[in-house]
Amino acid sequence: MMNKREIGQSGMIVSEIGLGCMSLPLEKVQAKRIVDSAIDQGITFFDTADLYDKGENEKILGHSLKGKRQDIILSTKVGNKWNEDGTAWTWDSSKSYIETQVKESLTRLQTDYIDLYQLHGGTMEDNLEEAIDAFNSLKKEGLIRAYGISSIRPNVIKRFLNSSDADSIMMQYSMLDRRPEEWLDMISGNGASLLTRGSLAKGLLTKQAMKRADQSNGYMEYSKESLITTLKELESESQDLTGLAIAFVLQHKQVASILAGASSAEQIEDTVNAYNESIPAERLDTINTLLKEDLYKDHRI
């Protein structure tokens, strides 16, 4: 059974595992099979972005959710604008762009409203207050229910939270990337929740751990050698690295949901099976001693 948590103070309750849809295939039948499997497994939270596959990802997700929209929480992102030739994108967080693009996303997703609309990045040079004004206007119109930001920049996150009623912050967070931990209390103290991505660390925290590590040049602050050593130590603590990785992230009450990607129905089933494994709190305490405690070096408050 999938447990649920609230995103910020939005009143929106989501499954502790969500489906990060960036890896959905563009073939409709395959994509729908993954989405149907996720729903069958108890997943109620689906996240995409207008950037993914130049909007095609939103179209595929909208098609896959036909007839099930009322049963799920739907999230997408805005701010990255493709150039006319489609070879690159630029950043645009202006109110006019956000208010134009939300309508495009609504059309592609085949829905009348977006549950969670997120700014897909941001810098201290942005007029974040203008973007926040756009989100608040969209809430009043009923086009979105809540908003947040996807960012790994603590200074941008703090400024965004201080100026808004944001309900969510999306950050990369896993056993191998613990940088967000320093900011968890700041996020929850502002009434928001953390949504995590990359919590399986590019497959390094799955059954393919050693194979992925051997083919890598290391990960984050881990050299290849220290990565392999750490993964071996983690595997000695648990036969299911995925279950351990999920439990490690969800031990923090500030986390609302882990967004797990899947390019097949089997992958999402494996993730949910791992989620259902019981990991004792004492084991998580032991795991902490095996991991690096890293901090963001740039964009600090």
Q: What is the DSSP string of 135-160?
A: HHHHHHHTSEEEEEEE-S-HHHHHHH
- Taking the C-alpha atoms of residue 87 and residue 90, their distance in angstroms, rounded to an integer, is 11
Distance CA(59)–CA(181), nearest Å, equals 35
Q: Is 274 exposed, middle or buried (0-12, 13-18, 19+ CB in 10 A)?
A: buried
Residue 275 known to be catalytic: no
Give the position of tokens 């929850």.
188
**Which tokens hold the place of 167?**
């309900």
- Residue 167 phi, psi (nearest 5): -105, -10
What secondary structure letter does DSSP report for 172? E
Q: Please state, in angstroms and rounded to a whole number, the distance separating the CA atoms of residues 258 and 124.
A: 27
User: Is 83 a residue whose pLDDT tops 90?
Assistant: no
Average confidence (pLDDT) over 198-218: 94
- Is a pLDDT exceeding 90 seen at residue 144? yes
pLDDT at 51: 86
Average pLDDT over residues 63-69: 95
Q: Is the pLDDT of residue 31 over 90?
A: yes
Mind listing the domains of the chain with CATH numbers? 4-201+252-278 (3.20.20.100)
Which amino acid is residue 223, in one-letter code?
S
Q: Could you tell me the pLDDT band of residue 301, with boundaries at 50, 70 and 90? A: confident
| Residue 115 CB partners (closer than 8 Å, separation 6+) | 12, 73, 74, 75, 144, 145, 146
Q: What percent of the chain has pLDDT over 70?
A: 100
pLDDT for the residue numbered 55: 81
* Region of poorest pLDDT, from 68-77, 78-87, 227-236, 243-252: 78-87
Q: What is the pLDDT of residue 12?
A: 98
Q: What is the pTM of this model?
A: 0.95
